[in-house]
């Protein structure tokens, strides 16, 4: 793969795009300065592996731009994605020496890294960081449990529809809108990575995408750009409660 120059600038915390959602969201100016002294940026190209399961990992990080995934692999090659990290998500465990999963950049990616030791020390003394990290970890646990329902009980079609709504919603969140009515977005994953996410084969992913297209639930523009004429129709295909469990 040719070495491209990645275009991500290295922002100051003050104008960082994830300033108000990342692990540092609740930090005051002086706390940011402290963080700034142990932080550094790393860029990765789509497809690059960031760490292999079992490798030493002496940093933790926030995703600034792009998408990273956590994947488990069995001895015979079966793979299951167990984490999908979008901008502002946190990577790594302050008290752990080595990575338990493969971490891969699924798109071009920028991480804001903190050296693990100093970060761990800050956690002890800085409640703004430790409380925020707890909150984010609990959110991730909730997401993992939704994901378990998907893996254990949903049909292939429901899995695909659910995945599309997840991406659409996270996309909407970034642009400060609500996913309703007409929606379009880019898929950050190949069909194979979608299969790893959903516990399917890539052929089944492809077939179900075609089926949703045939039924007019989605339109494909290229392989990666999705247009949804009516988001509510897509929601009906997920098998979830109509409202996404928010009200009622």
How far, in Å, CA of 218 to CA of 75, rounded?
Answer: 36
- Give the residue carrying structure tokens 């969201």: 25
Q: Which is nearer to a second copy, 158 or 230 (CB)?
A: 158
Instruction: For the segment 105-124, give every residue that binds a second copy (CB under 8 A).
Output: 123-124
According to the binding rule CB under 7 A, does residue 199 interact with DNA? yes
Q: Applying CB under 7 A, which of residues 56, 95, 175, 222 lies at the interface with DNA?
A: 222
* Residue 219 near DNA by CB under 7 A: no
Asked if residue 157 binds DNA (CB under 7 A), the reply is yes
Q: Could you write out the DSSP letters of every residue in 149-167?
A: HHHHH--HHHHHHHHHHHH
Site for a second copy in 229-248 (CB under 8 A): 239-241, 245
- Is residue 223 a contact point for DNA (CB under 7 A)? yes
* Total chain residues near a second copy (CB under 8 A): 42
Residue recorded with tokens 């509510």 = 232
8-to-43, 49, 85, 207 alpha-carbon distances in Å: 8, 18, 18, 35
Considering only residues 55, 118, 207, 230, which one is a binding residue for DNA as defined by CB under 7 A?
Answer: 207
Question: Which helix or strand (DSSP H or E) is residue 50 part of?
Answer: strand 49-51
Q: Quick one: which of 78, 213, 219, 223 contacts a second copy (CB under 8 A)?
A: 78
Q: Is residue 17 part of the contact set for a second copy (CB under 8 A)?
A: no
The candidate with the shortest Cα–Cα distance to 180, out of 217, 235, 126, 136, is: 235
From CA 101, how far away is CA 51, in angstroms rounded? Answer: 8
Would you give the binding string for a second copy spanning residues 28-67, x where CB under 8 A is met?
Answer: ----------------------------------------
């Amino acid at each position: 793969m040719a070495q491209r120059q990645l275009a991500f600038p290295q922002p100051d915390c003050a104008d960082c795009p994830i300033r108000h959602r990342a692990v540092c969201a609740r930090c005051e100016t002086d706390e940011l300065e402290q963080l700034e002294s142990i932080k550094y940026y790393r860029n990765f190209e789509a497809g690059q592996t960031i760490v292999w399961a079992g490798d030493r990992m002496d940093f933790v990080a926030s995703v600034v731009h792009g998408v990273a995934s956590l994947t488990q692999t069995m001895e015979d090659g079966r793979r299951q994605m167990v984490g999908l990290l979008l901008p502002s998500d946190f990577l790594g465990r302050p008290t752990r020496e080595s990575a338990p999963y493969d971490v891969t950049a699924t798109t071009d990616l920028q991480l804001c890294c903190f050296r693990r030791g100093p970060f761990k020390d800050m956690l002890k003394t800085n409640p703004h960081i430790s409380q925020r990290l707890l909150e984010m970890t609990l959110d991730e646990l909730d997401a993992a449990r939704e994901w378990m329902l998907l893996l254990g009980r949903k049909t292939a079609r429901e899995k695909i529809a659910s995945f599309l709504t997840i991406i659409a919603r996270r996309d909407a969140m970034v642009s400060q809108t609500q996913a309703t009515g007409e929606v379009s977005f880019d898929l950050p994953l190949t069909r194979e990575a979608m299969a790893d996410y959903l516990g399917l084969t890539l052929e089944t992913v492809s077939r179900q995408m075609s089926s949703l297209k045939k039924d007019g639930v989605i339109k494909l523009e290229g392989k990666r750009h999705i247009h949804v004429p009516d988001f509510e129709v897509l929601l009906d295909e997920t098998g979830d409660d109509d409202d996404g469990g928010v009200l009622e």
